[in-house]
Structure 1
Amino acid sequence: MTLDRFRSVADRLLGPWVAAAARLGLSPDQVSVIAFGAALLAAGAFAVADPAFYVLGSLLVLLNGWLDLVDGALAREQAVASDGGDLLDHVLDRYADIAVIAGFTAGIDAYALGFLAVTGVLMTSYMGTQIQAVGIGREYGGLLGRADRLALMGIVGVVAAAYSDPIVAGLNVVGLLLALFAAVGHLTALQRFLGAWGDL
């Protein structure tokens, strides 16, 4: 996980966003739902697979990631952090991951690769929570955290808008992103499993 190390820096930039959400009377849960809405719109834009829509999808997926930070910061600011809010946030994050990957997949008509990508991402998250469930503690290890994935999605959307021809093995930049998510996701899930197994 690369970008997650800079979360403290992001936290310092969240102030104006948190203040704006508070002025609008938004709760942290409502911000989480708005973030999820941005992910759904991003998925639709990526599915169109048109240059302008790729750029729009990139902006929306980055907005999803930023609002995902805002909801937590708002909850801390209002002292309303709760297990229910945490659960909602994690569930919507997973559905957002599924939606955006599905949008990319539909855009290039690569459903087998998309299936491998989304299962890799979901298994990475599942192993983290399952390890916590057996009492070892939450596991966040791995090469790509959610912040990294969102950043890559945003970058790839912009690149795909400018260049969508095949690059390697018949895959364009979107296909390569899905292949990366598939490979790294399943490898990370296996890494987490083996690490937890050794700790039991």
Structure 2
Amino acid sequence: MTLDQYRSHAKVYIDPLVTIAIRCRLTPNFFTLAALAASAVAGILFYLRLELWGVLAVAVNAFCDAMDGAVAREMKCQSKRGDFLDHAVDRYADIFIITGIFAGGLVPWQIGVFALTGVLMASYLGTQAQAVGVGRYYGGLLGRADRLVMIMVVGIIDMLVPLSFYGLSLLGWMLVLFGVFGYITSFQRFAYVWRTVE
């Protein structure tokens, strides 16, 4: 994964927003639940083929997803319960957004299911590493931040320049990559944990 490695570089832009959020008494859980709502709205908008609004809802999801952890760290109120909620919401967000894209007919459902299972398996193995005592592992080719940025960028390009290659739109090929990279990432994470645990 690439973008998750640059979270620290985004701190300079996020910190002023975190300060404002804390002054407004917005909690980390507020942003986590707002991210969930935004992802559900994004899924519905993609299902209705309102791609521009779907992309904007994904952007709101990405923003809230970045803010919940940043606010928790600044307020020094990180907890296992909050971490659990955050990861559960992230998985639902993946399901809502990807399902919305293929359920509305923007992409064949077979490719959508392939992408969704790849994404969920990669995420599952990342957190399962923590369950067996290795610690959460985010290694691999494709992380959640990468996926969100790809959805926004490809979604906009697909609207402006609707191209088709071998019967698939740009969104379709994006989900193919989600599936392929998701399963590669799953294998990378499995191999890492297998080598690490006794």
Are 1:195 and 2:192 counterparts? yes
Residue of structure 1 equivalent to 2:144: 146
Are 1:48 and 2:40 counterparts? no
Alignment check: 8 A CA contact 1:46 1:157 kept: no
Residue of structure 1 equivalent to 2:170: 173
In the TM superposition, residue 119 of structure 1 has moved relative to its aligned partner by 0.7
- Paired residues in the alignment total 196
Instruction: Name the TM-score, length of structure 2 as normaliser.
Output: 0.93
What do you get for the CA RMSD once the two structures are aligned?
Answer: 1.4
5+ residue gaps, structure 2, are none
Residue of structure 2 equivalent to 1:75: 72
In the TM superposition, residue 177 of structure 1 has moved relative to its aligned partner by 0.8
Percent identical across equivalent pairs?
A: 44
- Deviation string, structure 1 residues 8-59 (Cα, Å, up to 9, x no partner): 121221123223322332211011101111111111222222xxx3122212
Residue of structure 1 equivalent to 2:21: 21
The code of the aligned residue for 1:59 comes to L
The code of the aligned residue for 1:101 comes to I
In the TM superposition, residue 159 of structure 1 has moved relative to its aligned partner by 1.1
In the TM superposition, residue 112 of structure 1 has moved relative to its aligned partner by 1.2
In the TM superposition, residue 136 of structure 1 has moved relative to its aligned partner by 2.0
In the TM superposition, residue 79 of structure 1 has moved relative to its aligned partner by 1.8
Instruction: Name the TM-score, length of structure 1 as normaliser.
Output: 0.92
In the TM superposition, residue 109 of structure 1 has moved relative to its aligned partner by 4.8
Alignment check: 8 A CA contact 2:107 2:168 kept: no
Q: Residues 109 and 157 of structure 1: is their aligned pair in 2 closer, same or farther, counting only changes over 3 Å? A: closer
The code of the aligned residue for 2:89 comes to L
Residue of structure 1 equivalent to 2:120: 122
Q: Distance in 2 between matches of 1:144 and 1:121?
A: 9
Residue of structure 1 equivalent to 2:129: 131
